[in-house]
Amino acid sequence: MEYITNFYVFLASTVLISLTGVLQPGPMWAVTIEKATKRRTAGLLIAVGHGIVEFPLMFLIYYWISQYIVPDAVPIAIGLIGGLLIMYMGFQTFRKRNRPYEMYKSSRQESLVAGTWTTVANAGFYLWWFAVGIPLILNAQIFGFWGFSTFAMVHWLCDFTWYTSIALVIFESRRFWTEKTRGTILVFCAVVLAAFGAWFFGSALWSAIRTIV
């Protein structure tokens, strides 16, 4: 699998890919919409709760990878499988662009706790980290520990910025968040996912061909 060797280009790609994950419908989306009608800072607290789970996972993956010499076949396999999964996620995002959100009944839960438990219970979260996150961490590894730490913070800040902003908009006025706006954003996510999935798959396939030849 081909890695991005320019650190700033890598961070820019991290922002784009991270946003495709945060913009997709799911439990955190539903909880944010519900909580934002009652609390202005709901998105901020939900993002912090999400980070309580995500930061340990990111560092666990990084340290696990760092402890072993990763054979060339591993990133190639991850790139091939992950690329296909990302393209599939893009297809599913496009297909579900007009589907209404399912509202999760969690009004008795604090926003911080809601952000944590919706992350832990979300199968899509683990799928995203397998298909998208591990290749990103493998790429971040070439920049050393501080490069990886910057990547981790940038990734989480995408979550933080989006959930904080959207909760504030919903709290102030629902008229800014229409079904048309949501559908347009999801189509954009689908295109970005498909493009990066094709890139992951293509670069892994090219690496496999060069290894064999």
pLDDT above 70 coverage of the chain, percent: 74
pLDDT tens column, 26-44: 667 767 766 776 677 888 8
- Count of CB atoms within 10 A of residue 169's CB? 15
At 56 the pLDDT is 94
Whether residue 11 has pLDDT greater than 80: yes
At 103 the pLDDT is 47
Whether residue 152 has pLDDT greater than 80: yes
pLDDT tens column, 86-129: 687 678 768 877 766 554 444 445 778 777 877 776 667 877 88
Whether residue 148 has pLDDT greater than 90: yes
At 101 the pLDDT is 53
Comparing 80 with 148, the larger pLDDT belongs to 148
pLDDT tens column, 54-65: 999 999 999 887
